[in-house]
Amino acid sequence: MPLSRRDFLERSAAVAAAGFVPRLPSSELFADPAPAPGFRARPCVVSSSNGIRGVKVAYDKIVAGEDPLDAVIAGVNIQELDPNDQSVGLGGLPNEEGVVQLDASCMHGPTRRAGSVACIENIATPSLVAKAVMDYTDHVMLVGDGARRFARAMGFKEQELLTEKTRQDWMRWKSRLNANDAWLDHDDDLKIKFTTGTINMNAVTVTGDLASVTTTSGMAWKVPGRIGDSPIIGAGQYCDNTVGAAGSTGRGEANIKTCASFLAVEFMRQGLAPEAALIKTLERVVAMTEARLLGPNGRPKFDLEFYAVTKDGRYAGATLYSGGRFAVCDAAGARIEEAVYLYRR
């Protein structure tokens, strides 16, 4: 006999507890309900901790009535154009050949559109190029030289992204590859940087409209052509205007395999609070981690961070290990908060 809705939900509870997402009838799963009369969200912007300046800029824009995607992109542009932030944009740490290759993606909740670029060179603001892909093409992702040529055609100016600071860090890394090569070690007292830094930013307006963006220079010293999670819709970030938005920083390879930002939003769709949704997402990442990346205690050797905001303005940050922090701005102002975590260090 066919199951009633009540029977279905009761029987699916055990499945959900085991880590599986119950399948609702498609009419409910993809419903796009209008907000209740008088609905008002709490405007909020949440991001990785390096976005502390950007969340204030983005928040001021959304409360002034600007589009949420324009607001968060303006927020991350601050880091993209800061040569002292070596994880994104200008001054980002290069690949193993000394070339800075950037990735970014964005989603616009109200129109359900998205744009992305990967392995783009010589353009400092890939987040804006990703939005241009969304606004002016029938595509979602452009990569490599095609992305660069598209950006140039759209009026973006090319520039050298490798600063002297990042060039010196690349030389230090290169000099230590082989003790018997012809490269001379220098500044032996300086630790070689291995960053996977990124900036993700998500926003919700007073009317409940959402947007998200993630931008990065990727893993330092990566194999040329490597793409992380940042430009992949559903991994680096995801936005559903009926539910919320989420994004990530950290080891992109772990995130890609779980479509983790999409999964976090789906957990929130089921009614989980942002904190719980992000913790369950992290648990799924651990379950999908290959043995070589696990320590003797069965825990990952890497870290991964998530950030999320719901349609009504609730937010959270979560990390695999304790000590993580994230940036948020709402009516109480811009600030850094402690993230919830899966494991204590």
Which active-site residues does the annotation give?
A: 198
Residues in the chain: 345
Contacts of 92 (CB under 8 A, 6+ apart): 85, 86, 100, 102, 161, 166, 216, 217, 218
Half-sphere exposure of 317 (CA within 13 A, CB side): 27
Distances (CA, A) of 159 to 39, 148, 223, 266: 45, 11, 22, 39
**What is the layout of strands, in order, in the sheet containing 315-321?**
237-240, 244-250, 304-310, 315-321, 340-343
Q: At 104, list the tokens.
A: 């970014």
Nearest to 290 by CA among 324, 258, 265, 322: 258
Dist CA 37 CA 137 (whole Å): 35
**Residue 74 near residue 203 (C-beta atoms within 8 A):** no
Nearest to 282 by CA among 331, 314, 322, 310: 322
**Residue 3 near residue 10 (C-beta atoms within 8 A):** no
Q: At 170, list the tokens.
A: 């690349």
